[in-house]
Structure 1
């Protein structure tokens, strides 16, 4: 039988981890992360994980502090250490899982990086993985041989859209063909909460060697509030193109929504243009966010992730260990406000 829970939050995810722990009613277990010369690194739990149900929250997106490759290997090594030390089960909670966009061969001799990441995580001894808004749900689930839990944000976004209702018709838009299923889920979520008169639109997009093309637009957005949904915003080009197309076809307001907001400097410039979206809505899977852009709304993932962890741990009948103090002379990673 799996013992009590230990919940670890790795560097870069401290803020979200604190919010999850507060809502879930458990503490954050202490651990240590140290950098060495030549770019090497060590992470270790400061409490004995033997026999415990270990959950590791990791922010795996790249940034100024570390690349996605660095964060990925740090998370895998930490999970492997917990496994080596006798953890009864190790679950990796990765709101964003890198390399999800490379899930198939689009050029001759291409790698299938999403599958290689899955194999590496499995090899490190992880028993299950949780992510939010994978780029391709089927590819994510098929890449892993361990249990997977894919969480979606369409219901969160649907509640915001319903609250935004200002009389104009509402249209959900996919910014590219790959996002049609995601937009469909948002469309269905809106219908489920009583917004039955919702339209649907999509924009064509083709990308080759970094060049984006395609102008086909399908759907009636004239006089409507358009909500463009994507899994992530990085360079901002996809959202900017879709917003411009929606305005060209008569939209009275354009709003962009994405689970993961990885705003590069170029994205901030693109999205701040007059023909860009009126508002941006993202979750706190990344952040903190730079504010000089269109109105930015941030939706918290902590309630969803806390509920998922509680279910995976076994529900209310299971006991949850409070966060133990580190052993004498040892330290845990400090919480960085705003992260």
Structure 2
């Protein structure tokens, strides 16, 4: 058995704000200072990545906090090189905390002669010396099976349920959760059950990738406050069109709760000019200034949940207990008051 002493956190360059927030939350929970391990992650002139850890990590339980968001390849390579540096420094165990798992949309072969890149990434992370993965809202749940190491997949739905109960207090009877496509029905149904609301579906048909030809609303949304729920928002085209269709069908308001705000290209501009009253995203991907200044985009924190999950992994206790928003409520105390 590993002689594990203290959980130690180290961060790459992908989301240092989230890493610092996780360290602060762990300090609060443990009553002692939990700091990020002092290290440098930098690039040579030819963009090769170099990592140097300035602290002794021998025998320690290491948690590398690094979403593999844009630029996905750079952040993924940073993660693997950091893991290699820690393994060669005799860390007892290395857990990759990947709030947003890039390449997750490439989880199967969609046509002939295409890769399954999510499986390749899983192999690379394992070979780099990572022994466990902690992530949130994988685009495809089967990606957990691509790994031959433990994978803990947390869910944003409990956080969203707390946020909805707080911000829509007194209006809960008028909420309808909406899936923006048939593939997301299970995710929408889960949130609808948590907040005891109705459920509707926007059925979309594509003529080609990225271009929606037709949308149909399945379910009654007239005079309802509609909440679109999805795991990620990329260019926001489908999201904004779904909001337009719901308003056409008589919805009173349309809001969206998105686990990962990828926000590529014109996404923020589209959302700002859309009929969406609010778009709520987690901080799994570090928001740039454009996202932060958008009037109808709001960011909810994941640090309390990730901090608790890291401590549970370190202590060898249940991570699945964090799937329930009743369990998360005390962790988020002060951010959301109970209904």
TM range (shorter): 0.7 to 0.9
Kindly indicate whether the alpha-carbon contact (under 8 Å) linking 1:202 and 1:219 is maintained by their aligned counterparts in 2: yes
- Residue in 2 that maps onto 1:310: 311
The secondary structure found in structure 2 opposite 1:200 is strand
Kindly indicate whether the alpha-carbon contact (under 8 Å) linking 1:3 and 1:88 is maintained by their aligned counterparts in 2: no
Kindly indicate whether the alpha-carbon contact (under 8 Å) linking 1:257 and 1:281 is maintained by their aligned counterparts in 2: yes
Q: Deviations over 1:198-230 (max 9, x none)?
A: 110111234434333332321110010000011
> What is the total number of aligned residue pairs between the two structures?
304
Q: Larger RCO: Structure 1 or Structure 2 (Cα < 8 Å, ≥ 6 residues apart)?
A: 1
- Residue in 2 that maps onto 1:225: 225
* C-alpha deviation, 1:265, in angstroms: 4.2
| Residue segments in structure 2 that go unaligned for 5+ positions in a row | 28-33, 318-339
Equivalent of 1:131 in 120, 132, 135: 135
- Residue in 2 that maps onto 1:39: 47
Kindly indicate whether the alpha-carbon contact (under 8 Å) linking 2:276 and 2:296 is maintained by their aligned counterparts in 1: no
Rounded to whole Å, the distance in 1 between the matches of 2:19 and 2:104 is 23
The secondary structure found in structure 2 opposite 1:119 is helix
The answer to whether the aligner puts 1:150 opposite 2:153 as a matched pair is yes
Bigger CA drift: 307-316 or 69-78?
Answer: 307-316
Kindly indicate whether the alpha-carbon contact (under 8 Å) linking 1:223 and 1:250 is maintained by their aligned counterparts in 2: yes
The answer to whether the aligner puts 1:282 opposite 2:275 as a matched pair is no
| Residue segments in structure 1 that go unaligned for 5+ positions in a row | 192-197, 317-339
Equivalent of 1:181 in 186, 202, 205: 186
Q: Structure 1 length as normaliser, TM-score?
A: 0.85
* C-alpha deviation, 1:4, in angstroms: 2.2
* Alignment root-mean-square deviation, CA: 1.7
* C-alpha deviation, 1:312, in angstroms: 0.5
The secondary structure found in structure 2 opposite 1:93 is strand
Q: Structure 2 length as normaliser, TM-score?
A: 0.85
Kindly indicate whether the alpha-carbon contact (under 8 Å) linking 2:15 and 2:286 is maintained by their aligned counterparts in 1: no
* C-alpha deviation, 1:141, in angstroms: 1.1
Rounded to whole Å, the distance in 1 between the matches of 2:188 and 2:213 is 21
Kindly indicate whether the alpha-carbon contact (under 8 Å) linking 1:11 and 1:59 is maintained by their aligned counterparts in 2: no
Q: Deviations over 1:69-110 (max 9, x none)?
A: 011011111111211221110000010010101111111222
Displaced runs of 4 or more, over 6 A: none
